[in-house]
Amino acid sequence: MTFPEQSHTYSLGELKVNRLGYGAMQLAGPGVFGPPKDHQAAIAVLRHAVASGVNHIDTSDFYGPHITNQLIHEALFPYQDDLVIVTKIGAVRGNDASWNPAISREALTQAVHDNLRNLGLDVLDVVNFRCMISPHGLAEGSIEAPLTTLAELQQQGLVRHIGLSNVTPTQIAEGRRICNIVCVQNHYNLAHRDDDVLIDDLAQANIAYVPYFPLGGFSPLQSATLSEVAASLNATPMQVALAWLLQRSPNILLIPGTSSTAHLQENLAADQLVLPGEAIRELDNIAGE
């Protein structure tokens, strides 16, 4: 695979963001439920991210629930002009920390208003509809009804742009017939490569692709090849995994999450890491290991 020259920015509609952003999910408590163990540390991570040049933050009001949005507001409000906050709707948390679909017109409308209130905004920059047909991964099924509701909220001026999360190519095509889609957020990383063709198709359409679990998520990436390449470049395995994604396609935006400022700084340094061709060829083979 030959990667194009790396650009450091990409656009979500008319909103230009740095390609290496920050995902706020890990700021909530264990299992993305409840408050953080260290409230002030969570505030410090958010402020350090923005001070370091991050202008794309991914969040949701069902993280916590409400916790990450409230932390973002406390840490960063009033927001700097170029900060783009991307949230998502389509789920709610049960009292047992379960993740449950919430796709009725009423639930989606309430979710948009919850995000607005907790973030302290009048309009949301980007809202992703999170498909919950299957809680365990992708599953086919129409998203017309919930996405039509979200498009109506956009027409009311509450949402600037719309994206999709956890969706198949068929669902993306259906969504694009309903409204303009500026980004797709799916599971993808060095070892999980099911969306290879989709990423290239979205790049042709100028649609951003935002991989969740770019470092493996709850099961961090582990590979002898990754460790060897990292050692040869005097980098960490996670920096190499992020750099590979940045060089994979110019429409990929990254939102690695962490609750540590040291880990955040390590992640952000991946933006300056350029992988040589031999390293890329070795890393490309990890998915087949």
How far is the C-alpha of 181 from the C-alpha of 170, rounded, in Å? Answer: 14
**Cβ-count burial of 155 within 10 angstroms (0-12 exposed, 13-18 middle, 19+ buried)?**
exposed
pLDDT, position 109: 98
For this structure, is 63 an active site residue? yes
Taking the C-alpha atoms of residue 286 and residue 289, their distance in angstroms, rounded to an integer, is 5
Say what the pLDDT of residue 288 is.
Answer: 67
| Residue of 10, 22, 63, 212 with catalytic role | 63
Residues 6+ apart with CB under 8 A from 93: 33, 62, 64, 65, 99, 100
> Which regions of the chain are under pLDDT 70?
1-6, 217-220, 288-289
Residue 23 main-chain phi, psi, to 5 deg: -105, 125
HSE-CB at 158 with a 13 A cutoff on CA atoms is: 19
Strand spans (E) along the chain = 9-12, 15-18, 22-23, 56-58, 84-89, 91-93, 99-101, 124-130, 159-165, 181-185, 208-209
Give the DSSP H or E segment for 238: helix 237-248
User: What amino acid is encoded at 248 in this protein?
Assistant: R
